Amino acid sequence: MKHSVDYFFSRRNFLKTGWGALGGLAGSLLASSAWAQALGMKTPRQTLGPFFPDEGDEVHEIRENLDFRLPISEANDNDLTHIKGHEGTAEGQVIHLEGKVLFRWQGDAKPQPGAVIILWNAAASGRYNHRGDREATRFRHPETGQWVERTHDEHFQYWGRCITDQEGRYSFKTVVPGFYPVDIENGWFRPPHLHFMVTAPGIPQLVTQLYFKGEAVPNNAFIQKLNARDLILRDPALTREQQDSLIVEYRPSEKDPGVLIGNYDFMLSF
């Protein structure tokens, strides 16, 4: 699968490291998003990528809100596991992600009410609902050698919107997306990730991606190997601490059996 030009980084270090050498590296992901948040770290930026939900680009139009003044990226609710009017629900491990949007200016971080957050992610199969996502829809798993099919999930909402409340809080319900190949020849597979665009008046827009970890996350060990070598998460312009701050830990929910919960505060700043 080819990605747009902004996906390309120097591959030198990436190619020097084989799959076998990565176990230790994955195990050393000690710094966490919680730690970064305790330090008040600004949320690092990550590339928009080629699959932002766009009018005209989608494969299956999903528009829950029929107010056509809304761009399609903002026309759905914050529950990506269910499309209004569908009886079925999305395939995959259900997660809740919740937290706040904060804005730091001259010292203090303050909750940001009314911030618009757009979330878009691949289905559990690793497929986006986007016309541009049509290469390598079938590929061999780099560890097991088994064929992986990136199929469309007709009950997955693919993107959603949440507007922060008076305390700056937001929440999303979605599924852990599948990993997917970018450059099979060189062994580059994107780890499961969620894409975000956060917009609030008078503040520079934030575009980023969040990643996964946690014992309860399906295939966590494999995901950590992908996290360790992903050319976007491991953007050389970010410090190791900044990179690791984008990996959110998910734990089983006590309230909702079978659901995993993650917490992340977006820290906006100039």
Catalytic positions, please? 128, 180, 190, 193, 195
Q: Which is nearer to Fe ion, 44 or 49 (CB)?
A: 49
Q: Does 168 bind Fe ion (CB under 5 A)?
A: no
Candidate ranges 45-53, 58-66, 87-95, 231-239; the one touching Fe ion (CB under 5 A): 45-53
Within residues 194-223, the interface with Fe ion by CB under 5 A covers none
Q: Which is nearer to Fe ion, 49 or 53 (CB)?
A: 49
Q: How far is the CB of 200 from Fe ion (least distance, A)?
A: 23
Q: Are 118 and 161 in contact (CB under 8 A)?
A: yes
Q: Residues in contact with Fe ion, total (CB under 5 A)?
A: 1
Q: How far is the CB of 202 from Fe ion (least distance, A)?
A: 28
Phi, psi of 111 (to 5 degrees): -60, 140
Q: How far is the CB of 104 from Fe ion (least distance, A)?
A: 27
Output the CA torsion 9→10→15→16 (10° steps): -140
Residue 236 DSSP SS3: coil
Q: Are 223 and 98 in contact (CB under 8 A)?
A: no
Q: Which is nearer to Fe ion, 49 or 181 (CB)?
A: 49
> Tokens 């050698």 appear where?
145
**Cα gap 160→190, rounded to integer Å:** 21
Candidate ranges 48-56, 77-85, 226-234, 242-250; the one touching Fe ion (CB under 5 A): 48-56
Q: How far is the CB of 114 from Fe ion (least distance, A)?
A: 27
Site map (CB under 5 A) of Fe ion, residues 92-131, x = contact: ----------------------------------------
**Cα gap 195→122, rounded to integer Å:** 9
Q: How far is the CB of 206 from Fe ion (least distance, A)?
A: 16
Q: How far is the CB of 50 from Fe ion (least distance, A)?
A: 8
| Residue of this chain nearest to Fe ion (CB atom) | 49
Q: Are 74 and 116 in contact (CB under 8 A)?
A: yes
Q: Does 181 bind Fe ion (CB under 5 A)?
A: no
- DSSP notation for 85-127: T-SS---S-EEEEEEEEEEE-SS-EEE-TT-EEEEE---TTS-
Strand duo 94-104 + 260-263: pairing: parallel
Q: Which is nearer to Fe ion, 49 or 168 (CB)?
A: 49
Candidate ranges 32-40, 43-51, 71-79, 147-155; the one touching Fe ion (CB under 5 A): 43-51
Dihedral over Cα of 216, 211, 40, 52: its sign: negative
Out of 44, 49, 99, 192, name the contact with Fe ion by CB under 5 A. Answer: 49
First to last CA, the chain: 35
**CB count, 10 Å around CB of 153?**
20
Q: Which is nearer to Fe ion, 103 or 156 (CB)?
A: 156
Interface residues with Fe ion (CB under 5 A) are 49
